[in-house]
Structure formats: structure tokens, C-alpha cells
Amino acid sequence: MSDLWTSAEIADATGGAVSAPFAVSGVAFDSREVGAGDLFVAMKGETTDGHKFVDKAFAQGAAGAIVSEPVDYPHVLVADSAAALEALGRASRKRSNAKIIGVTGSVGKTGTKEALFHALERACPGGVHRSVKSYNNHVGVPLSLARMPRDAAYGVFEMGMNHAGELAALTRQVRPNVAIVTAIAPAHIEFFGTEEKIAEAKAEIFEGLEPGGTAVIPYDSPHVATLYGKAERHADHILTFGFSPEADIFVRDTVPAPGGGTLVTAALPGVELCFTVGAPGDHWVSNSLAVLAAVEALGGDLAAAGLALAEMPGLPGRGARRILPVAGGEALLIDESYNANPLSMAATLKQLGREQADRRIAVLGGMRELGSRSTELHAALSQPLSENGVDYAILVGEEMAPLADALGGLVAFDHVPDAASATDLINKEMRAGDAILVKGSNGIGLSRLVAALGDAARDGDKD
């Protein structure tokens, strides 16, 4: 197994000076994530300085470091560690022969990235690299690039943004062969003003496409023309996906599958594919079409991709499902606690309405970064709550006040100030036969509620 980077290669990529020769097998900028053989990138931020954690990184097994001030360990000395990490990411992309896929969108980025990883990995075991967690910003993207093995056959990279111009910079580092936009929604609308501006910013991903590249676009989006217009200027090929039969890749038929997933018949150019999407909900069906579009564009194995989609589990914070033991039986917990915007709220509430349950409970946290439209968009959640048979809602945070006002007598609810209060309340309220959806912006902290319910369930298992 070859080294990921040698000190000479790091110095060549970054313009730095080597203190002593070394080689590394991984890259990290968070000292808590450093493992044996890793390169630790000590960066200076607004609130902390990575150089303070160099001792810790080497104690955990780091083999070398990138630093902007000398240290008593093997290192490459550079003027700016953050710029050096970006340079290392660019060097990784330059040396790689992998086929590269970039993924962005207002919702579904991480899920689509993970599904695409599993779809490609099924046909090419051990040959697929992808960004981990939600490392999708100006630091996470170059880190993910720098971690890509020399011999990777595919690389899948998630890219996010909350201001215009950010994706343009990231996509020119990633230089994808296939660029996917999953969906457009009013996430971060506080910084853009309109959804149209969000669509324009998301379309920046096409600017980095390699010659011969393919743009993958959601046909059902009201902003498809904006996305298509930008793609035409940068892509040699364009594939649309959606539920409309006018899309290049579209759903012919869906049937509920055992366990909450969906059996899908999809039409692709020249072929039909019948497969199961293991994760429940129309939004996951849509994500699966984007995955198939990318696999089609890459000339990959569609049958293997279909098998992988059936096996794809729900992700923590993004649809993971857990059975909780409660007095007299069990309750279903649906963990969507990582993030929320109006489109994803509506999609997950629609799926909650399909669950076979004695009661459907929604624990909903406020949606952040909605700007002047926050009141309107929170209040509008009263419609999907009432239309999808939700029996009881726990509204969390001050942002939810407009929804509390709009609900009136449509749905029984309680409005609490924070995640701790919601945890106390759901522990009192849940009972056997409940299906409980937990969803909100990450800053609301509903992941702590999910963790508390999981801890309680584990403690109960021990009794």
C-alpha cells in the first residue's frame, strides 16, 4: 500500500520547507480526529490556533504536520496553513485519474453523496473515495481532496455554500466530470433574498466541469431553466431527472416497499430499471434518480447501483430510523435532526403521514437563515402538518412562534423554548404505537433529543 503523501510531495505542492523526511497515510485538521500515520494541518482561525494542538496530534500518532511556525516534530513549514491545505487538495486532484463527481443542492447533498458512494462502491469495491461527514466548505473540500487515494477510481465530493461565489471557488478545486444539483429550496435565503438567486449560486458548480463533463439537473424544480441555462455554458452533456416524464431520467411507477422504502421503476435513456430505494420518502426517490443519472454519465453499472440503493440505510440526522422500547410496546423514531428548510420539512412530514402508526408525532425545531421570510415560511408549515395526519406536534424554539399562531386548532401542539424542554416533554408523551419525527436546523440541537432517547432505550435494554 503506497503512502498518501511524502514530505517531498507536500513541500512541492505547497511551496513549503521540509524539516525532516516523513510519509503520511491520512490528513486531518482537527487534532481530535488525528490517527496513526496522519498529516496534521495546524491552521490558525478566528477563535483558536491549531499549533496549540500539535503535541496532542503527535501523541495520537501523527507522522508529520503542515505548520506556519516551526515545531519540534517532522513538518513542512509554510506561510499559510489554510492556503497550503488548498494547494495540497489541488495537487491531489491534479495527480488523480479518478472520475470525479461534485454534489450540491439546498437539500439532499449528503444523502445523495452517500448513496452515490455506495452505488459506485458496489461495482468497484475499495475504489471509491468520498468526502466524509458534511465537509463541504472552503476547508472541508480541500481536506477531502487531499485525502483521496492516489489510485482511486472515483471521487465523490459534496459542496455547500451560503453566499454567492463560494461554489465557483470550490468547483474549480474539485473539477468534476459530473456535477449534480439535487434541489433548490429557500435554505440560506437570508443571504440571497430570492430562490432565483439561490439557484444561480448553486449553478456555479457547473463552472468547474472538466471538458466532456455532464451536468445533472432536477427537472421538477421551478428553477430548472436557470440551472439549464448555466449548464449549457459549461457542460458538454446535460441530464435531467425527476417525476415528470419529460425528464431524461424519470419515475414511471412507485410502489411502497416493505420496511418503509419504495419500489421504483425508472426510465433512463434507452433502458428501464426496477429497483428499491431502502430509505423512505419521495425525496429519497428523487435523490436516487440523481444517483442513476451520475452512474449513467460515468458509464457505470446501473444494476449494481440499484442493488446499493436498496441496501442504503438511513443516515444519522438524515432519516435514520430506530425502534424505541416503551411501556407496552415500541415506538418508531425518525431522526431528521441535522438540518431543515421548508422543502425538506414538507417532504419529511409527507413521509410521516404515510407511516402506519397509532399516533404521528412531529418534533419540529426552528429553521435558520430564512431572513425576512422566516415568519411566513414557518407559519406555512401548518399546511403539511395538518394535511399529513400529524396528531401532535412539539414546536421547539422562538422561530416556531408563527407556526404556533397559524396552527390554531388544526393540530394539537405544545411550544417549548429549547431541545431540553422538548426532550422532557417527549419522554412524558410518547407511547407504544407512536411514529415520532424529529427535525430542525442543526443549531436548535435536536440531535441531543435523539441521543437522549437512544440512551434511554439502551438503558432500558440493560434492565
Q: What is the pLDDT of residue 218?
A: 97
Q: What is the pLDDT of residue 454?
A: 77
Beta bridge partners of 143: none
How does DSSP assign 362-374, residue by residue?
A: EEEEPPPS-GGGH
Q: What is the pLDDT of residue 186?
A: 76
Is the dihedral angle over the CA atoms 428, 430, 432, 438 positive or is it negative?
A: negative
Cα 244 from Cα 259, distance rounded (Å): 26
Q: What is the pLDDT of residue 439?
A: 95
Beta bridge partners of 276: 263
pTM of the complete model: 0.84
Q: What is the pLDDT of residue 306?
A: 95
Fold of 96-311: UDP-N-acetylmuramoyl-L-alanine:D-glutamate ligase (3.40.1190)
Same fold, 5-81 and 320-462: no
Q: What is the pLDDT along the chain (463 residues), one digit of tens a residue?
A: 579 999 999 999 999 999 999 999 999 999 999 999 999 999 998 788 999 999 999 999 999 999 999 999 999 999 999 999 999 999 999 999 999 999 999 888 999 999 999 999 999 999 999 998 778 899 999 999 999 999 999 999 999 987 889 999 999 999 999 999 999 987 666 777 788 999 999 999 999 999 999 999 999 999 999 999 999 999 999 999 999 999 999 999 999 887 778 999 999 998 999 999 988 889 899 999 999 999 999 999 999 999 999 988 777 888 888 999 999 999 999 999 988 888 889 989 999 998 999 999 999 999 988 888 899 999 999 999 999 999 999 999 999 999 999 998 899 999 999 999 999 999 999 999 999 999 999 889 999 999 998 765 544 444 4
E-assigned strands of 295-337?
A: 320-326, 329-336
- First-to-last alpha carbon distance for the chain, in angstroms, is 46
> Residue 92: in which H helix or E strand, if any?
helix 81-95
Options 2.60.40.10, 3.90.190.20, 2.60.120.10, 2.140.10.10; CATH of 320-462: 3.90.190.20
Q: How far is CA 439 from CA 132, 334, 362, 364, 367, in A?
A: 22, 9, 8, 5, 9
- In degrees and rounded to multiples of 5, residue 292 shows phi and psi of -65, -35
Is the dihedral angle over the CA atoms 94, 96, 99, 101 positive or is it negative?
A: negative
Cα 258 from Cα 45, distance rounded (Å): 48
> Residue 65: in which H helix or E strand, if any?
strand 64-67
Extents of the domains making up the chain = 5-81, 96-311, 320-462
Q: What is the pLDDT of residue 35?
A: 95
Q: What is the pLDDT of residue 195?
A: 87
Domain 5-81: assigned CATH number: 3.40.1390.10
Q: How many CB atoms lie within 10 A of CB 169?
A: 16
Q: What is the pLDDT of residue 457?
A: 52
Q: What is the pLDDT of residue 456?
A: 56
> Residue 238: in which H helix or E strand, if any?
strand 237-242
